[in-house]
Structure 1
Amino acid sequence: MLHKKILFVTSEAVPFAKSGGLGDMVTALAQALQERGHDVRVVMPRYYSIARDQLSRRMEPLGVPLGFGEEWCAVFEADITNTKGVPFYFIEHEGYFGREGIYGEDSSSSFPDNFARYTLLSRAAFQLCRAIGWIPDIMHAHDWPTALVPVYLQTWERSREFCHTASVFTIHNLGYQGWFSKDEIFYSQISENDFYHYGLEALGAINLMKAGITSSDIITTVSPTYAQEIQTEAYGEGQDWLLRSRSDQIIGILNGIDTDIWNPQTDIHIEPYNYSATDRSNKIKIKALLQERMNLPVIKDQPLVAMISRLVSQKGIELLLGDWGVLSRLMHYHNQVQVVIIGTGEEYFEQELKALSNRYPHNIRVNILFDEPLSHVVEAGADFFLMPSRYEPCGLNQMYSLRYGTLPIVRRTGGLVDTVTSYQKETGDGTGWIFNDYNVDGCWWALNDAIETYYQRPDHIEGMRERAMKEDFTWMSSAKLYETAYERAIKYRNT
């Protein structure tokens, strides 16, 4: 593939702002493509949490058409030595981005002006390219916040400098679609005719996800299985009919992980107890460290099950709760088991998990927080990692877990089934446990089988750990597939 100019337009990217896997993916893929010789750049908002002293002022204020006039934005740039050579541009607008939070004040709320905020970002991406004299071959938009990018390529920018620029739109999570009142469409300056023609209209309102699906040249999702699932009524979130109509332009590409950051041999967060696939002797020491940090009894021969998750329905949290939920069953049948749960989310789930922790203080510990260093200790120190998701577009934690020899227990959905192979009792093959049905019984069966295997077949557990740690989840193979998607987008755009 000839080297391309590629602009990522995104609402989040590590290490600057992150609410989930989207932020990890954008940075890692951009860096992998840059390593392969492409000219990749990223544009995102400068949120209040991104300190100016990390950045340098790039240019004079940028005028961005919005609503009935124009908004003026500052543009900052990160030091490329901190982003592995990928230029990161930041759009600063105090009124729209100068506040705590990304999409809302916390993970369960949304700012009422999000349509205007992310319309500003999408339009600013084009103005930035003009200002620096750099017109990309590909504009790669991510989820509903930047879904107007392909719409603008079809409308305002179709006969301008961007007439040959193709669009790729990645669906990270179809469950979040960007619904807004039709009354807000004036912010976008999109005409009434284009409002209907390019997919913004849905049930008399604005649906940005629908617009991105309708208007983009190529659509990607973050795993092959999820690409198929979202074309069914069960997982399509009301867009399955539209996705089926564009099935020839949908490509499922599994996310990779940053193996420089997530590497048990070099991970600074578990020093001095680093370990490898062939020498896992320090894993038991990290387990003791995790037990100490979580105020659990330090017992090396009890299985420790972990979760790091947003505490929302999608992640299967409700399966854990109640008198006969998975955690209560676990304590009833296997009281010699420890559970560690870390995450934030819906208040009901937070309170219910805290109640279970108070009820079983020597077995279950829950921390309602996001703590990146602690998450590395959890991935390294646990024996099993539980992900009972209702749906999971890709999932990263199961890949982190495999990398650290912590065996995943997952539901058969999305990227989970694309990355975990199911344990076979007869041979000991596999890298984790997979259950089919989204219910308490299915999850309990898999968790119970894992614990019984821990006690009865430690040789199988050790074999699975070694096999899991040797799996390849680097970004390079995924980057090659994105190159193919970009070629297809350019061909589709220019035919």
Structure 2
Amino acid sequence: MGHDVRVVCPKFGFMKPKPDWIAHERPLNVYMGRDIRFAKVWETRLPDGRSPVYCIEYNEYFDVPTVYASGYLDYEREGYRFAFFSRASLDLCNYLDWIPDIIHCHDWTTGLVPVHLNSRELNQPLGKAASVLTIHNLQFQGIYTSDILEFSGLPRSLFRADGLECYGRVNYLKGGIYHSQKVTTVSPNYAREIQTPEQGFGLQSTLRFKASDLLGVVNGVDTVAWDPNTDPKLPVPFSADNMEGKAACKALLQQEMGLEQGPGRPLFVVISRLFEQKGLDVLMHAAPKVLEAMHVQFAVIGTGEPDLEYGFSELARRFPGRFATHIGYNDRLAHLLYGGGDCIVMPSRFEPCGLSQLYGMRYGTVPLVRSTGGLVDTVEQYDEATGEGTGFRFEHLNPEALYYTIGWACATYYDRPHHFELLRQNGMRRDFSWAEPAKRYEDIYRWAYQARNGRGSVIK
């Protein structure tokens, strides 16, 4: 689209420089309040070779084995880690002598960037840069004691209800929401939901205040990496025009997961982190009744909460040949589940966007989802009268509702096979590329820039 796009991220300890990475010789000065810290800058490029990626190395905060905190002490340190990163990202622009029109921030970890920008006058470097903040999951907010303000170099005057303060503590995400010109999230329905007490995680009033600047844009998917007609991880390719290969994928999936062989019964798959957010405790409780009443199979792959890992492993032991569980993640096996499954099950408590249902539809695996968040925006309810739609949705998060919806999908599979095939085809022919979201973000960037610099201002 012709824009000069650059990416900045921390260089964590587990990130090993590759041969094409360039180490900048000059240190990056990072101005943290009264202190100056010296960081190292690594430069590489995105796979397309066009957009540079800058990785900031500062071992005191970034030499860690995982991206996010793993305990209380690390959680407190995480506040300093991302306060440093937010400031370093802005100082990097001056270091590169590159002043962007838009700085697009993601989640609480960059929430202080818009706060820093709004504390600068328009005639200063970066003063005209507008900020857009995308909320991928409102549950995670970055909440710390007010001591963090002195370290960050932000004035104490910003610690107030219409800014960083939230119940007596500093809330990075709240600050980012207040100080950004535009706030986006990853689906229109989720943008509405997070303004309610049920889904607002304490920030619903803040989000309602910013409602005129809050927009939802559904994520796209990489349609090259996720294409069943060219996917090297599938045993046989297939497409909407030639579905023969999907049966071969199902047969191999049954074989590898230890399920009873045969194409006749519907195979429900789960490819997910095994967390309560995903509603998989509800599936765990519904599955025995489903398996006792219906001629179905399940294949589950994922890792997460010990109780869920144990519960799904127990289901596999209790129903051998009909319920299979793989604890862990295997990319090839995940692609095989998408390719060989008949339905992908997502009974989420909340789901900002969801990608698994999009991958499922690309691979002719019909989504069976709870009506929440981005699942509402991306999965069109099946119409029994016409066969239109792309999947099965249910409202209430309980085992009975999930049991009924699985039964509905089974009845369609057995009694209306032409409709089930229509659902596959409808999903496979939907456009889930980044083409439309990219155009939408281009508009949002323009609106944000005008909000920062005046209605008549134009992005260069």
Aligned pairs for 1:399-414 (under 5 A) are 399-414=358-373
**What SS does the aligned partner of 2:227 have?**
coil
Quote the offset at 1:110 in angstroms. 6.0
* Pairing partner for 1:127 from 91, 94, 109: 91
Task: Report the Cα distance in structure 2 between the residues aligned to 1:99 and 1:288, rounded to whole angstroms.
Answer: 42
The residue aligned with 2:242 is 279
Query: What is the alpha-carbon distance in structure 1 between the residues aligned to residue 364 and residue 13 of structure 2?
Result: 37
CA offsets per residue over residues 313-347 of structure 1, 9 Å max, x none? Answer: 211112123xxx2111111212x321111122222
- The whole-number CA distance in structure 1 between the counterparts of 2:48 and 2:328 is 26
- Other-structure match for 1:443: 402
Q: Where does residue 347 of structure 1 map in the other structure?
A: 306
Quick check: 2:283–2:347 contact (8 Å CA) kept in 1?
A: no
After superposition, the C-alpha distances for 1:439-494 in whole angstroms (9 at most, x for unaligned) are: 22222211111012112221111121111100001101111110111111011111
Three-state SS of the structure 2 residue aligned to 1:136 is coil
**Alignment of 1:310 onto 2:273:** yes
Match of 1:166 in 2: 130
TM-score, reference length from structure 2: 0.94
3-state secondary structure, aligned to 1:74: strand
Residue of structure 2 aligned with 1:103, choices 68, 72, 79: 68
The runs of 5 or more residues in structure 2 that have no matched partner are 455-460
Contact 1:177 1:209 in 2 (8 A): yes
1:471 corresponds in structure 2 to 430
SS at match of 2:159: helix
Distance 1:84 1:255, change over 3 A: farther
Deviation at 1:182, TM superposition (A): 2.4
Tell me: CA distance 1:183–1:141, structure 2 relative to 1, closer, same or farther (3 Å): same
Structure 1 position 208, deviation (Å) = 1.2
Equivalent residue pairs, number: 453
Percentage of identical aligned residues = 40
- Asked if 1:43 is matched to 2:2, the reply is no
Quick one: which amino acid aligns to residue 327 of structure 1? Answer: A
Check 1:197–1:269 CA distance in 2 against 1; reply closer, same or farther (3 A cut). Answer: same
- Structure 1 counterpart of 2:38: 72
For residues 319 and 394 of structure 2, what CA distance do their matches in structure 1 show? 26
Q: CA deviation at 1:383?
A: 0.5
Equivalence for 1:494: 453
Q: What is the letter of the counterpart of residue 61 of structure 1?
A: P
Change (3 A) 1:237 1:45: same
Residue among 136, 153, 156 paired with 2:117? 153
Deviations 1:101-154 (A, max 9, x none): 110349x99643111111111111111111111110000000100011100101
Q: For the Cα contact (< 8 Å) 1:137–1:490, is it kept in 2?
A: yes
Match of 1:200 in 2: 164
Deviations 1:15-50 (A, max 9, x none): xxxxxxxxxxxxxxxxxxxxx111111100112222
Distance 1:156 1:360 in 2: 63
- Alignment correspondent of 2:52: 87
1:151–1:198 contact (8 Å) kept in structure 2: no
Q: Residue 202 of structure 2 aligns to a residue in which SS?
A: coil
Match of 1:175 among 134, 139, 157: 139
Kindly indicate whether the alpha-carbon contact (under 8 Å) linking 2:364 and 2:425 is maintained by their aligned counterparts in 1.
yes
Q: C-alpha separation between the residues in 2 aligned to 1:83 and 1:61?
A: 27
Distance 2:263 2:66 in 1: 40
Q: CA deviation at 1:236?
A: 1.2
- For 1:331, the equivalent position in structure 2 comes to 291
**Pair 188,57 (structure 1): closer, same or farther in 2 beyond 3 Å:** same
CA RMSD of aligned residues (A): 1.8
Q: Does the aligned pair in 2 maintain the 1:155–1:194 contact within 8 Å?
A: no
How big is each residue's C-alpha offset from its partner over 1:141-180, in whole Å with a ceiling of 9 and x where there is no partner? 0010001110010115765201100000011111111122
2:384 to 425, 438, 443: 425
Bigger mean CA deviation after superposition, 239-248 or 350-359: 350-359
Counterpart of 2:109, as a letter, is P
Displacement of 1:307: 0.9
SS of 2:84's partner is: helix
Shift of 1:196: 1.9
Q: Which residue of 2 aligns with 1:298?
A: 261
Report the AA paired with residue 452 of structure 1. Answer: A
Equivalent position amino acid for 2:280 in 1: I
Q: Distance in 2 between matches of 1:465 and 1:78?
A: 40
Give SS of 1:339's match.
strand
- Residue 258 of structure 1, CA deviation: 0.7
